[in-house]
Structure 1
Amino acid sequence: MRRKNLKAARGSLMTIENKNKQGLEQFRSLRSNIYFSSIDKELRTIAVSSPSSGDGKTMTASNLAVVISQEGKKVLLVDADLRKPSVHHVFWLENRYGLSNYLIGQKTLHTIIHCAYPNLDIITSGIVPPNPSELLGSIQMSEFIQAVKEKYDVVIFDTPPVLIVTDPTLVASKCDGLLLVVRAKKNDMKEVKRVQEQLTFAGANIIGAVLNGKKQPKGSYYYQ
């Protein structure tokens, strides 16, 4: 990861540092909206993706995991981007082993879990494999999801962009819901429509979208 992008990743945890009250309130609002959307069906596993790279999906997944854990729920954040992982940069973790190592049988579940904060554990991506799609679509991945559901109240998966690879659709189809992150003035409606069609065709349950990068009026703490 380039130094500029690395610095941005490590500075994206506004829900921990509490320096950005507007951002913190927005993620709390997002947390509430997810709860309201799951009245009929409990959302235990949530995939987070975006149309393209640079839309803010990792920042969204990371901060969402933090604010849910701050309510006392036991949360696991999994970096399921096995091509360009970045969750370990956000939380300043080593990435010598992780999800990919588990899926190929090198590591057991308890050996790849990092305890980041109270109520929040993290599994990094691990080694970059030559066959990410095969791993994420495998029986081992389905068994992994079932295993972590038994240990945690909520599991959040940071996945690659939808329009670049098939990986996010493979993960989303195994999860209770998918949250789409869209960046203002970057993703046009045609892209978003294509993403929606691909995810729907794959059987993903799209629970909502986050508009990222939209400037808010000074003093405003809420999404428009």
Structure 2
Amino acid sequence: MTLTPDTPRRSSDDIDLLQVLETLRRAWIPLAVTPVVLAGVTYLVSSRQAPTFEAGTSLMSSMPDTSNDTLKGASVTASQLPQGAVDEVIHSRASVVRITDIVSKSGLPADIKAKITADLNNELANDRYARVTVKARLDQQQRGVYDLKASAESPEAARVLANAAATALLAWDVERARSGVSRARENLQRQLDNLNARLGALTPGSLEAQSLVAARGQLLLNLSQATVFEEGASGNLTLLAEANAPRRPVAPKPTRNAALVFLLSLFAGAGVVLLLDALRRRVRTSSDLLQLGVNTLGELPRLARAKRGAMVGLARTGDLYEPSGFIRVNLAASLPEQNAIIAVTSPRPAEGKSTVVATTAASYSSAGKRVLVIDLDLHRPSQQEYWSVAGRPWVALPGNTVPLRCDVTIAIEHPKQASALDVGGGIHVLPAGETGRKAASLLSRPDLPDLLRHWAQNYDIVIIDTPPVLALADAYVIGRQLDGMILVVESGETSVPEVQRVLTTFASTGAPLMGVVINKVNRSNQGYYYNYNYHRLTPPATPSN
């Protein structure tokens, strides 16, 4: 039976800010480099773009409608414009023709005039407008100010284009007001022509002729007034100020564009990293392993800036004392009391298997056990970094009588020379020597299991540090002949599918897996501080009186 601390756990649906930051920290290089590169490219591209200048002018809409009885109620000024009418008018074909005509008669360079004309016609065809824009600031009676903005390749071109747009808009507004008066004048002219035709058919001096002559006089007066009104008709819009040539371009803005690209790519990259991390199921606590049917032997907390050389001390008297002792108790339930041999591995490198080897050995030592640590990770050995080996004496392993300086490759090839370092506390360490494929091939020797059993005669337990199992098959080769194996996973880093792959391979090779140790667990995920004494997790409630 595997013991687990009876303590509350965080819900898996809770957002762990520390875990989010850890996920981002693992991807900090692409998260930092990508925005910088994109921002730099954006800055270079933007700085090489041609400058764009913008000029503006304003028109006021405030004149009320007026009518004249002489013109049968026809308005002599333009009516108020509905919302959005000015924007539609300025982008109409008639206005574009007026604007391009004014621009073509200006003193601008020919290439700029041609570019403006082509752009205006293309915008008209595509129904997307950028050269000339209108922004209305009106009250509920549609009275207020229209701001016209025009962009061009030079300050003078922007000024000319803005004034041309204002002129075209004012001309349209006057024509709109004049059209009503013109219709009234044309109606009076038709009445006069009809009256003259009737007079031509009557006898001069007759009573009817005299009546028609009097009516014709009034029509002539009205027609004269209509002509005056037509010429003086005014629009609803009034020019407030002509456009001036701008001093500075409005685009490009390399610094602003680069900053925006940097921030957008940074946030987008962080979002992608967090999304991919969420899609990849990871082992964070023992609850994530329940569905796999594997025992959790224990959890080691994440320690800030802890060096390898300090791990043994922490396992004996520090923060790792309780968690490593918990692992030792769980192992004791499945191992013989003496001469036990176990191997420790992990799915991938840097998940903490060597730390588990060292801390578990220290825990057995604290319990008065004799321990032999063998570093069989002949690709990336690290056990010597956990122990104070400088000046330590060598002790002969079973089968050897004279202690000599030795490493695991020499010990396997020449068992009669096998020796280990006495690092104190009843712990002996057989370090790795030569590394690489040639040295690793020694792990396939058929006599290696018997040799390990022979060395275990003088120890309560032998703990072997082996290579990661997803990278190399060494651990499977060794593990089949041992009493058990421990799989070390890193909280928040090792994925559940990776653990499933390892378990499948363990089952197919016959290697006896005793359980899993979860390393680098955030304290916020643990829900406890590995104190198995009579300490309360929360203060007792104060009884009410």
SS of residue in 2 equivalent to 1:67: helix
Q: 1:135: which partner in 2?
A: 442
Q: Report deviation, 1:37.
A: 3.2
User: For residues 132 and 200 of structure 1, do their structure 2 counterparts lie closer, same or farther at Cα, with a shift above 3 Å needed?
Assistant: farther
Q: 1:33: which partner in 2?
A: 330
Please say if 1:124 is aligned against 2:436. no
Q: 2:22: which partner in 1?
A: none
Q: Please give the residue correspondences for 1:27-176 in structure 2 after superposition, counting only pairs within 5 Å.
A: 27-38=324-335, 44-93=340-389, 97-105=406-414, 108-109=417-418, 112-176=419-483
SS of residue in 1 equivalent to 2:362: helix
User: For residues 140 and 93 of structure 1, do their structure 2 counterparts lie closer, same or farther at Cα, with a shift above 3 Å needed?
Assistant: farther
* Distance of 1:35 and 1:219 partners within structure 2: 23
Q: 2:315: which partner in 1?
A: 15
User: Is the 1:133–1:166 contact (alpha carbons within 8 Å) kept by the matching residues of 2?
Assistant: no
Q: 2:520: which partner in 1?
A: 213
Which AA in structure 1 matches 2:502? V
Q: Say which structure, 1 or 2, has more relative contact order (CA 8 Å, 6+ apart).
A: 1
* Distance of 2:434 and 2:318 partners within structure 1: 33
* Distance of 2:495 and 2:517 partners within structure 1: 14
* Distance of 1:133 and 1:166 partners within structure 2: 10
Which AA in structure 2 matches 1:142? P
Task: Give TM-score, length-normalised by structure 1.
Answer: 0.85
Please say if 1:177 is aligned against 2:476. no
> Residue deviations 1:10-43, cap 9 Å, x none?
2322214x232xx21001111111112348x978
Which AA in structure 2 matches 1:196? L
User: Is the 2:388–2:423 contact (alpha carbons within 8 Å) kept by the matching residues of 1?
Assistant: no
Q: Report deviation, 1:104.
A: 2.3
Which AA in structure 2 matches 1:51? P
Q: Report deviation, 1:222.
A: 5.5
Unaligned stretches of 5+ in structure 1? 1-6
User: For residues 10 and 118 of structure 1, do their structure 2 counterparts lie closer, same or farther at Cα, with a shift above 3 Å needed?
Assistant: closer
Alignment length (residue pairs): 210
Of structures 1 and 2, the larger Rg is shown by: 2
SS of residue in 1 equivalent to 2:437: coil
* Distance of 2:515 and 2:359 partners within structure 1: 16
Q: Report deviation, 1:200.
A: 2.1
User: For residues 106 and 145 of structure 1, do their structure 2 counterparts lie closer, same or farther at Cα, with a shift above 3 Å needed?
Assistant: closer
Give the CA RMSD over aligned residues.
2.4
Q: Report deviation, 1:187.
A: 0.7
* Distance of 2:384 and 2:340 partners within structure 1: 22
> Residue deviations 1:45-65, cap 9 Å, x none?
010000000100000011101
* Distance of 2:436 and 2:522 partners within structure 1: 38
* Distance of 1:37 and 1:222 partners within structure 2: 24
* Distance of 1:146 and 1:88 partners within structure 2: 23
> Residue deviations 1:81-138, cap 9 Å, x none?
01110001111336x74111122228612xx311011211110012225324421121
Which AA in structure 2 matches 1:8? K
User: Is the 2:351–2:489 contact (alpha carbons within 8 Å) kept by the matching residues of 1?
Assistant: yes
User: For residues 142 and 38 of structure 1, do their structure 2 counterparts lie closer, same or farther at Cα, with a shift above 3 Å needed?
Assistant: closer
Which AA in structure 2 matches 1:15? A
Which AA in structure 1 matches 2:315? T
SS of residue in 2 equivalent to 1:12: helix
User: Is the 1:136–1:170 contact (alpha carbons within 8 Å) kept by the matching residues of 2?
Assistant: yes
- Identical counterparts, % of pairs: 26
SS of residue in 2 equivalent to 1:131: helix
User: Is the 1:29–1:222 contact (alpha carbons within 8 Å) kept by the matching residues of 2?
Assistant: no
Which AA in structure 2 matches 1:63? T
Q: Report deviation, 1:73.
A: 1.5
Task: Give TM-score, length-normalised by structure 2.
Answer: 0.36
**Greater displacement, 171-180 / 120-129:** 120-129
**Greater displacement, 169-178 / 29-38:** 29-38
> Residue deviations 1:153-202, cap 9 Å, x none?
10000111000111111111121000110101111011011111122222
* Distance of 2:415 and 2:367 partners within structure 1: 34
SS of residue in 1 equivalent to 2:451: helix
Q: 2:280: which partner in 1?
A: none
* Distance of 1:186 and 1:200 partners within structure 2: 23
SS of residue in 2 equivalent to 1:59: helix
SS of residue in 2 equivalent to 1:150: helix
User: Is the 1:68–1:75 contact (alpha carbons within 8 Å) kept by the matching residues of 2?
Assistant: yes
